A = this chain, B = another copy of it.
Amino acid sequence: MRIEEIGGEFSLIRQLAALIPHDHKNLVAGIGDDTAVIRQDHDTRRYLLVTADTLVEGNHFKTNWSTPEQIGEKAVECNVSDIAAMGGSPTLLFISLVVPKDIHVEWINGLYKGISAACKRYAVVIGGGDTTRGQNIIIGMSLLGYVRTTALCLRSHGRPGDLLVVSGTLGAAAAGYELLMKNTPVPPYLLKKHLTPRCRMDIVPMVSRLANAMIDISDGLAAEVNHICSQSRTGAIVFEDHLPLHPELFSAAGILGLSPEGIALTGGEDLELLFSIPEKNMDELRQSGIEHHVVGKLTETKEGVLLEQKNGRRTPLLGGYNHFTPVAG
């Protein structure tokens, strides 16, 4: 049976989770979050964080679109984003690189320069790495970090009544990717969001104090809202006309034959944050000057996870980036 036939990657993960030992007294969060949260025996103030991400040539990046420096930076940004979404700070990075036998050393050097530049941005140090031969380039990274126990934001921390807030525009990275796939000129903001995204570590110290649940939007808003709802055991409503859309998304959507809202709901890899926040904390968020867009709110489980379309119709909020559906290219 193929992965699509059982319902895609998320169904697969659920199926595999039943096969393996995944309960541990010190595991505050494991499978189900992008980042594991580990209680430490002798440090009650902080949790250890571990996240791992893999970028595959042709799937997550193409060497004719991006310089090796850009690819290295983006790989680090994606991993730091997972630590940021927990309210934490990254510390040590481990790199597992698979490269073809005939790769140019200059390309690998460029990749490491990009990795290094992004690491310096977040005071991350390389703890180790290995390089293996394979058919195409695969960049595997594991990143450690820490989070103050009081700042931890899990997917499961959402409460009915919380507002759903995103930290910036949605769908730009996916639109940039799809335009590149079509060999069409890509407007500058969309290109930047796809090739050189920056994670939102800048707002984490403030937001992690005010938010309940938090997640980075790597699989598209619709999927991430569903992740929060299933882990928090809540419903949600997202308002289509509240989605923050960059002006460039409209022309891109026209070229792609898609709706801008559809791209915003299902396009991944923007590296923006989605968080749920109690109404009482909204004043402080507004006063902080941090860009934010209220896109919906969490509701009781029985309400379901809904999208309110512009015409007022409510439908189930479906979709999201799936590594095994054609959307991923």
Contacts and interface: CB of A to CB of B under 8 A. Distances in A.
B33 A128 contact: yes
Given A133-B56, A135-B136, A144 B50 contact: yes
A324 B101 contact: yes
Given A136-B134, A138-B98, A23 B116 contact: no
A100 to B, nearest CB: 10
Interface string A268-288: 000000000000000000000
Contact of A130 (B5, B21, B53, B103): B53
Q: Contact size class for A?
A: 35 or more
A13 to B, nearest CB: 7
A102 to B, nearest CB: 6
A12 interface: yes
A127 B20 CA distance: 10
B116 A30 contact: no
A96 B138 CA distance: 11
A19 B114 CA distance: 10
Interface string A35-58: 110101111010010111110101
A313 interface: no
Interface string A123-147: 0111111111111101010101000
A194 B55 CA distance: 29
A120 interface: yes
Nearest to A328: B133
A290 to B, nearest CB: 29
B19 A113 contact: yes
B24 A125 contact: yes
A248 interface: no
A99 to B, nearest CB: 8
Interface in A70-125: 91-92, 94-96, 98-99, 101-106, 108-109, 112-113, 115-116, 119-120, 124-125
A200 interface: no
Contacts of A13: 129, 131
Q: Looking at A16, A51, A103, which has the most chain B CB atoms within 10 Å of its CB?
A: A16
Contacts of A36: 92, 94, 127-128
Interface of A: 1-3, 5-6, 9, 12-13, 15-16, 19-24, 26-27, 30-31, 33-36, 38, 40-43, 45, 48, 50-54, 56, 58-60, 91-92, 94-96, 98-99, 101-106, 108-109, 112-113, 115-116, 119-120, 124-136, 138, 140, 142, 144, 323-324, 328
15 contacts: A2-B103, A3-B108, A6-B105, A16-B112, A24-B125, A30-B128, A40-B42, A50-B92, A50-B128, A50-B144, A52-B140, A54-B96, A98-B138, A134-B136, A142-B142
Given A12-B131, A19-B116, 12 more contacts: A2-B105, A3-B108, A19-B112, A30-B92, A30-B128, A34-B128, A42-B45, A52-B94, A56-B98, A59-B132, A96-B96, A134-B138
